[in-house]
Structure 1
Amino acid sequence: MNWDVETLSRIQFAFTIMFHYIFPPFSIGMGLLLVIFESLYLITKKEIYEKITRFWIKIFAANFAVGVASGIVMEFEFGTNWSTYSRFVGDVFGSPLAAEGIFAFFLESGFLAILLFGWNRVKPGMHLFATIMVAVGSILSGFWIVVANSWQQTPVAYEIVEDFGIRRAVITDFWEMVFNPSAMVRFSHVIVGAFIQGAFLVMSVAAYYLLKKKHLEFAKISFSIALVVAALGSLAQPLIGHTHAKVVEAYQSAKLAAFEGLYETQTNAPLYLFGWTDPETRQTTGIAIPGMLSFLVHGDTLGEVKGLEEWPKEDWPPVNGVFQSYHLMVALGMLFIGLTLFTLFMLWKGKLFQTTWLLKLYLPAVALPVIANQLGWVSAERGRQPWIVQGLLRTSEGVSKSITTEEVAISLVMFMIVYTLLFFVWLYVLDREIKHGPESVQAYEAGFKKRADKMDIIKPH
């Protein structure tokens, strides 16, 4: 591998964004569950739902804090490592990022204080409204980020202008840019993946309590509700993914060909379940369903699917890497369907909470949606290569011209050290809160009064 500025900058950005992306899906998924838990509390007036909501708010807060901290760096990397890219797309990319800050992050962070500290200070209905606003804000944040990224995948509503010898893209229609051909289906795919990831975190923690035989009512209710969310999300993903694949075929055919290791344009194109592809020999081996790719794309096994031979080899993505990441993502999606449906069946039969081996599966299973979501982005971004903006700007052309290999390497090592420490802090906080467990409402009230008394002592008179 050539360890030049471009390669190191790509590794650095991949590392920082993949680390950051551990946390937003947890926030989005848990935001939905918090709305469900607190709504059930207002409807039933049962103390257990208040207890559940208060506990998961603490976990949500820890996750939200690390997500914000880890995401700031990426914005600076656009200027330091990818200044040529930033100049080219700044007029386009800046609009959805500004919208994300104004309409999403401010909404989310503005109501976060009420969510965290408002239990004894606002009415229950107002607190639920704040919870909903935080959840909506987190989803809107995902929407605007996906819009910005989707324009890179399927650029529309722009014109290229040149100022002082510098080319840049300028928006000609804002809303056409927002609802570009891939934006909504990719947004749906991302958000449902986040719901699944958040639900698996709740099920993992609940399974821990069930195995320890602690906080049983809390754990059973939390697990059951999260299981329904995870199952519905898992069932929805293949349908969304199918629509997404059709969009990819229409606008990024080389990416779809790489997904399936398809080198020759053909009808009756096969769909590989798993395998290995070699771009040097242009051969793909593995278990495949003949004609299924053509059928999924065109609704007809005789439909023609373009192979990589249609493009010069320098325009090919890294085929085997994209092939493997895509198929592993799909395999995990199928696993989620099977696992959640089987668990729902065990719940319906009344045997779930006595089936120790199944509960033990859910302890490490929290990592699987994280991996699946990461693989989805790896497939999408590496599948777009060598373009940083599809058909308009190559990745090699987007890198900054004024930085050196040594500067990028040093900053990469520093980021790795800082992010590793941040990750262990996050794990420590989660471990502490989970081991402490949910408290009774009376304990929460006593703790709140104690903190309020301390504030009364130290405030000036």
Structure 2
Amino acid sequence: MEALDLARWQFGITTVYHFMLVPLTIGLSTLVAIMQTAWVRTGNEKWLRLTKFYGKLLLINFALGVATGIVQEFQFGMNWSNYSRYVGDVFGAPLAMEALAAFFLESTFLGLWIFGWDRLSKKVHLATVWAFSIGSLMSAYFILAANSWMQHPVGAIYNEETGRAEMTDIWAVLTNNTTLVAFPHVIATAFLVAGTFVAGIGVWWMVKSVRANGDGPENTDASMYRTAARFGAVVMLIAGVGLLVTGDLQAKLMFKQQPIKMAAAEGLMNTEQPAAFSLLAIGNLAGNDPESVKHVLEIPGLTSYLATGDWDAPVTGINQLQEIYSERYGATTADGETIEYRPNLLVTYWSFRLMIGLAAFSAALALAILWVTRKKQVSGALWFKRLALVAIPMPFFASAFGWIFTEMGRQPFVVAPNPTGSDQILMMTMFGNSDSVSAGEVLTSMITFTVVYGVLGVFWFRLQKRYTSEGAPVIAPPPDDSDDEAGKPMSFAY
């Protein structure tokens, strides 16, 4: 394999690994803040116990997310220096904002939240966790602004003298319409992940508690975990609706900006009117024989609706788009090789369906929770516990497949052209990697990072399992605000 192929593999491995942690941090930070708010407003100790319980799991996830995220930015300057040289003037701005504003806001207020339980007043301490949550959302926005510019470059011009893209309007970059639809979709995903996490663990503990101590009113632990499960279920349902709405908006915009990506997601080889949505396709999706792709199960007109809002609208196929792209951006490389603008059909087609299909486990769990725990009931059913355990990882995988689809579908571009822009800023992936980094060096670093990340993953799982298995702690509430705490040092709450 060449250095380019290995660099792509390394970036894909490290990015997917990192993003498995990101949505849980974003969503769970807000859910923990809501739990603590409920405790401050009601004084009910169950909310304090849940805050401490899920807060501890949040800290473990955040720590590993920070460690794995740092590697991402180093790769831009090492494996992808040509890309960084070309877009650094634009791409670096939102990344700097993420680091200077969002990350410092997150870290500072998370530290105050961790150490300030016995030192800060209830309301001030509550404000710190909300500030941390807001910082997480800001961080996500700036990162998505950078990624969305790669999907749809705006607010910049190409300088022929320097051979670089140069920013002309930072506001246009930050308010890119691609960002404005991607951000709510990603945040809804984060809440689906976090809601499933909270609900799944709540169900697991509720069933365990009922089987050990019965389902009587004296079993306060079962009642507490029922509250967590129902809270998570409500979050999942709201997030699910948000995903449907924002996903539809994102698909319609993507059909305009990157039509070949969405055609690949449908396995739509030739233009159709109306275009059906494929549920199952057979044939050589790997791309060697695209004409062999046949749709076995499909929903008539749905792809036309997803693309335009019209059930009878024509949708351009991959083969026709290949010709259009070749005419617009070039048919061959400098070496005379034909440029393949069709993304990997196997990856885009199935990652799009896995993104949608795996999220269905969260919907099943949410509906089961609301039904089984209706009228203040608790349950000790083993099937309920098993469903919870199966459902917990599914939205993690769904979000990962969503990003695989988004990034792989953009190929062969690392910066996709803006078909409506006056300046055609674009860069193909084959020209973005570093000239001075050899395949052996990339392979060495890829193996090293994969091993290190594997070890970190084991620690993450063991810590999550250990503290989840301990359950919500039995704790006394912090001292009243009226108590004299002057001079008392901060203490680590976990």
Please tell me the TM-score bracket, short chain as reference: over 0.9
Matching of residue 276 in structure 1 with residue 299 in structure 2: no
Given the superposition, is the C-alpha separation of residues 352 and 306 from structure 1 closer, same or farther in structure 2, using an over 3 Å criterion? farther
> May I ask how many residue pairs the two structures share in their alignment?
446
Given the superposition, is the C-alpha separation of residues 352 and 161 from structure 1 closer, same or farther in structure 2, using an over 3 Å criterion? farther
Q: Distance between the aligned counterparts of 1:352 and 1:443, measured in 2? A: 26
Matching of residue 411 in structure 1 with residue 417 in structure 2: no
Q: Alpha-carbon deviation of 1:184?
A: 1.3
Q: What pairs up with 1:3-402 in 2 under 5 angstroms?
A: 3-163=1-161, 166-213=162-209, 215-276=221-282, 278=284, 279=287, 280-282=289-291, 283-309=293-319, 310-312=321-323, 314-348=340-374, 353-391=379-417, 392-402=426-436
Q: Are the aligned partners of 2:196 and 2:362 in contact in 1 as well (CA < 8 Å)?
A: no
Q: Are the aligned partners of 1:235 and 1:337 in contact in 2 as well (CA < 8 Å)?
A: no
Q: Distance between the aligned counterparts of 2:127 and 2:478, measured in 1? A: 21
**Quick one: which amino acid aligns to residue 52 of structure 1?**
L
**Quick one: which amino acid aligns to residue 86 of structure 2?**
F
**Quick one: which amino acid aligns to residue 103 of structure 2?**
F
Given the superposition, is the C-alpha separation of residues 352 and 234 from structure 1 closer, same or farther in structure 2, using an over 3 Å criterion? farther
Q: Alpha-carbon deviation of 1:206?
A: 1.9
Q: Alpha-carbon deviation of 1:110?
A: 1.0
Q: Alpha-carbon deviation of 1:263?
A: 1.4
**Quick one: which amino acid aligns to residue 189 of structure 1?**
H
Q: Are the aligned partners of 1:388 and 1:398 in contact in 2 as well (CA < 8 Å)?
A: yes
4+ aligned runs moved over 6 Å, structure 1: 452-456
The TM-score normalised by the length of structure 2 is 0.86
Q: Are the aligned partners of 1:182 and 1:247 in contact in 2 as well (CA < 8 Å)?
A: yes
Task: Identify the residue that residue 459 of structure 1 maps to in structure 2.
Answer: none
Q: Sequence identity, in percent?
A: 34
Q: Distance between the aligned counterparts of 2:62 and 2:142, measured in 1? A: 18
Q: Alpha-carbon deviation of 1:4?
A: 0.7
Q: Deviations over 1:74-106 (max 9, x none)?
A: 111111100000011101111100111122111
Q: Alpha-carbon deviation of 1:137?
A: 0.7
**Quick one: which amino acid aligns to residue 356 of structure 1?**
L
Q: Are the aligned partners of 2:23 and 2:191 in contact in 1 as well (CA < 8 Å)?
A: yes
Given the superposition, is the C-alpha separation of residues 333 and 433 from structure 1 closer, same or farther in structure 2, using an over 3 Å criterion? closer
Q: Alpha-carbon deviation of 1:51?
A: 1.4
The TM-score normalised by the length of structure 1 is 0.92
Residue 159 of structure 2 aligns to a residue whose secondary structure is strand
Q: Distance between the aligned counterparts of 1:56 and 1:444, measured in 2? A: 18
Given the superposition, is the C-alpha separation of residues 217 and 284 from structure 1 closer, same or farther in structure 2, using an over 3 Å criterion? same
**Quick one: which amino acid aligns to residue 304 of structure 2?**
S
Q: Distance between the aligned counterparts of 1:5 and 1:202, measured in 2? A: 42
Residue 373 of structure 2 aligns to a residue whose secondary structure is helix
Q: Distance between the aligned counterparts of 2:240 and 2:370, measured in 1? A: 13
Q: Distance between the aligned counterparts of 2:428 and 2:231, measured in 1? A: 45
Q: Alpha-carbon deviation of 1:351?
A: 5.1
Q: Distance between the aligned counterparts of 1:69 and 1:142, measured in 2? A: 16
Q: Alpha-carbon deviation of 1:442?
A: 2.9
Using CA pairs under 8 Å that are at least 6 residues apart, name the structure with larger relative contact order, 1 or 2: 2
Q: Which has the higher helix share?
A: 1
Q: Alpha-carbon deviation of 1:207?
A: 2.5
Residue 157 of structure 2 aligns to a residue whose secondary structure is strand
Residue 294 of structure 2 aligns to a residue whose secondary structure is strand
Q: Deviations over 1:95-148 (max 9, x none)?
A: 100111122111111101121111110000011111101111111111111110
Matching of residue 432 in structure 1 with residue 466 in structure 2: yes
Q: Deviations over 1:340-384 (max 9, x none)?
A: 234323333555624431232111321101100000000000000
**Quick one: which amino acid aligns to residue 292 of structure 1?**
L
Report the RMSD for the aligned CA atoms in angstroms.
2.1
Q: Distance between the aligned counterparts of 2:410 and 2:239, measured in 1? A: 26
**Quick one: which amino acid aligns to residue 430 of structure 1?**
Q
Q: Alpha-carbon deviation of 1:217?
A: 3.3
**Quick one: which amino acid aligns to residue 15 of structure 1?**
I
**Quick one: which amino acid aligns to residue 328 of structure 1?**
L
- Which moves more between the two structures, 51-60 or 144-153? 51-60
Q: Are the aligned partners of 2:195 and 2:236 in contact in 1 as well (CA < 8 Å)?
A: yes
Q: Are the aligned partners of 1:274 and 1:327 in contact in 2 as well (CA < 8 Å)?
A: no
Q: Are the aligned partners of 1:207 and 1:362 in contact in 2 as well (CA < 8 Å)?
A: yes
Q: Are the aligned partners of 2:158 and 2:164 in contact in 1 as well (CA < 8 Å)?
A: yes
**Quick one: which amino acid aligns to residue 73 of structure 1?**
V
